[in-house]
Amino acid sequence: MIPAWADVFIAALALFGAAFTLVGSWGLAKLGDFGKRLHGPTKATTLGVGCVLLASMLWFGLTGTPSLHELLITLFLFFTAPVSAHLLIKAAMKLDPSLRPPPPPK
């Protein structure tokens, strides 16, 4: 049996994660250019999926069947999402030089 405070905390984490995932997905679909579209999934969706996975880890840990799969998925997500976004934006700037920011003033 899970304590009530833990149940509320896990539910809040799951709802918070789902909301951030929804915002990141909406940003991917609705924002204008490639750089803005890339920003939604790498920031908001990563945080959202991380919260959902944390809620899952806590729930399974408190019910007596702990699993490290969620921890491995979270670590993999937090390591690969920023790297892949960086590589995607670098490739886009190489293909289209107009995406580069202007040089700083002297």
Residue 15, pLDDT above cutoff 90 = yes
Structural domain of residue 59, as residue ranges?
8-96
> Cβ(17)–Cβ(1) under 8 Å?
no
* pLDDT value, residue 85: 87
The residue length of the chain stands at 106
Is 105 part of a structural domain of the chain?
no
Is 3 part of a structural domain of the chain?
no
Helix (H, G, I), strand (E, B) or coil at 79: helix
Task: List, for residues 55-104, the tens digit of each pLDDT value.
Answer: 999 998 888 888 888 889 888 988 888 888 889 989 988 998 888 888 89
* pLDDT value, residue 40: 78
Beta-carbon contacts of 44 under 8 Å, excluding residues fewer than 6 positions away, are: 20, 21, 23, 24, 27
Least confident among 34-43, 48-57, 92-101: 34-43
Is 2 part of a structural domain of the chain?
no
Whole-number Å distance between alpha carbons of 77 and 10? 20
Is 101 part of a structural domain of the chain?
no
Q: Which of 88, 86, 80, 61 is nearest to 6 (CA)?
A: 61
Q: Indicate the pTM of the whole model.
A: 0.78
Is 32 part of a structural domain of the chain?
yes
